[in-house]
Amino acid sequence: MRLRITAQLLEAETGAHLWADRFDGSLEEVFELQEQVAASVAGVIEPALQAAETARSADRPTSDLTAYDLYLRAHAMYFTSERQMRQAMALLEEAIARDPQYGPALGFAALCCMHLATDASAPDRDANRRKGIDFGRRALEGARNDPGVLADAAYALACFGEDIDAMIALVDRALAFNPSYARGWHISGFLRLWAGQTELAIEHAARALRLSPRAEAGWTSYLIGAALFFSRRFEEAVPRLRVTIEEMPVFPTPYRFLAACYAHMGLLDEARATIARLRAITPEVIVNYPLPFRDPRHQELYFSGLRLAMGEET
């Protein structure tokens, strides 16, 4: 019995055909045939990988390797459970000083400013807001077709109040370039939540989880919980928000949503207990910065629930 093996090598990002070959042999020679295939594929892949890496290096968003290293270090700090925003921000500002057109660093700096502008313990929140808007707009100027830069800048700018439809269009563009970009679907979910499109928010969050089950799971649980809250599906929202609090115990916003959930369900003891836990991590129960939620009915549902949880008249 004769065997024929056909092998083909394609570039995953572009679908470009790099190499193809076929190998013939008898069934008795199957192991020798296997080694022949492996050796041939390895021989083709090695120069192809070198060429691809050379091309990627040439197209790197910055030629300053120190700026690139600073960005990578800030990136790692951003995605730690502690979210070391101030330390990451310092590294990103140093990277941007070295290369003022460095799109990924500008986009990530906008995100760090977004978090600092909503952190009650952060100094000068208004200044962080102004810096974040500047970084986000500069990131978009040099984004080209980079899905990460487009999505990060749109996320921050939408939070800062820029036109939500325009920011959604930017994220849609990012996902058109890379439909498997889990973080892009995660960001798209938040923008849909802020736009009042709760079902799409849940759908896009679920897609992000399918693509990358472990990435930003706590934030995705919060996103789904908040969307369920605004849909008045309070009983479904509660377990999502409790999971978020377990995973990110120092992040205050899920406590606010959970307290509001309990209050609208008539569970005032649970609501007050949640407010007490919130006060242990921040003095700010009712925030004094503009919320990103564009639907006034959603804002009223949120604030009325918080007032009930605090024992105030609605």
Q: Band the pLDDT of 82: cuts 50, 70, 90.
A: low
Mean of all residue pLDDT scores within the chain: 86
| Whole-number percent of the chain with pLDDT over 90 | 60
CA distance 311 to 293: 24
Q: At what angle do helices 198-211 and 217-230 cross, to 10 degrees?
A: 160
Percent of the chain having pLDDT more than 70? Answer: 83
The confidence score (pLDDT) of residue 15 equals 63
The token pair at 99 is 């290369």
d(CA 295, CA 6): 57
Q: What CATH number does domain 63-179 carry, 3.90.1310.10, 1.25.40.10, 2.40.420.20, 3.40.50.300?
A: 1.25.40.10
The answer, as to whether pTM is greater than 0.75, is yes
Q: Are 309 and 263 contacting, i.e. CB atoms less than 8 angstroms apart?
A: yes
The span from the CA of 178 to the CA of 269, in Å, is: 46
The whole-number average pLDDT for the span 71-96 is 85
Confidence of residue 58 (pLDDT cuts 50, 70, 90): very low
- Report the chain's C-alpha Rg in angstroms: 24
CATH number of 198-314: 1.25.40.10
The ranges of the chain annotated as CATH 1.25.40.10 are: 63-179, 198-314
Q: Which pair of tokens denotes residue 38?
A: 């492996």
pLDDT of residue 5: 76
- pLDDT for 79: 75
